[in-house]
Amino acid sequence: DCKCGSGFGKCPNNDCCSRKGYCGRTADYCYPDKGCKQKYGVCKCGEGKGSCTPGYCCSAKGYCGETKSFCSSELGCQKKYGDCKCNGQFGKCGDGQCCSKKNYCGYSAAYCDVGCQSEFGKCGNSRCGPKYGSCPSGECCRCQSEFGICATNRCGAKWGSCPAGKCCSKKGYCGKTEDYCYLSKGCQSKYGKCAEGRCGPK
Spatial distance between the Cα atoms of 161 and 62, rounded to a whole number of angstroms: 52
Least confident of 12-26, 71-85, 152-166, 176-190: 152-166
| pTM over 0.85, yes/no | no
DSSP 8-state assignment for residue 174: E
Q: Domains of the chain: which residue ranges?
A: 1-44, 54-122
Judged against a pLDDT cut of 60, whether residue 127 lies above it is answered with no
Q: What is the CATH number of domain 1-44?
A: 3.30.60
Structure confidence by residue, pLDDT tens digits, 53-81: 999 999 999 999 999 999 999 999 999 99
Judged against a pLDDT cut of 80, whether residue 93 lies above it is answered with yes
Q: 136-155 as b/e, with b when 16 or more CB fall inside 10 Å? A: eeebbbeeeeebbeeeebbb
pLDDT level of residue 164 (50, 70, 90 thresholds): confident
